Amino acid sequence: MRQTTISAWDVVQEQIGFTKIKRINWCIVFGCSLSKYVGELYASGLTYENALTHCQSKLLEKGMFNEDLARRIKIGVSSRYSENKTFISTIREMRG
C-alpha cells in the first residue's frame, strides 16, 4: 500500500480555502509580510503608536486606507508588538 505524505502547509492551505475571512496581501503595501515589516519597525525603536501611524500612512500612500483596513492594521500591529515584547522578555528571563 502506498502512503501519501501531506504536509502541514497543505492542511493550512486547505483550511484557508474554507474560511470566509478575506486575507490581505500586505506585501503589496509594505513589500514584505506584515510580521517582517512590523518587526523591523519594532527593532528600529518605534513605539506601538508610532508604528501604527507609520503603517496607516503607508496605506494612505497606496490609496488603500479604509475603515476595515484601519481596523485590521491596528489589530495586526498590536498583536505583533505584543509577540515581540513577549519574545524579548522570554529571552531576558532565560539569560538571567
Q: What confidence tens digit (pLDDT) does each residue in 47-76 have? A: 999 999 999 999 999 998 899 999 999 999
Residues written for the chain: 96
pTM of the model: 0.71
Residue reference for cell 503603517: 55
Q: Lowest-pLDDT range, 7-16, 55-64, 75-84?
A: 7-16
* DSSP structural state of residue 81: H
Task: Provide the pLDDT for residue 15.
Answer: 72
DSSP secondary structure of 11-67: HHHHHHHH--SPP--THHHHSS-HHHHHHHHHHTT--HHHHHHHHHHHHHHTT---H
What span, in angstroms and rounded, lies between the C-alpha atoms of 17 and 26?
Answer: 18
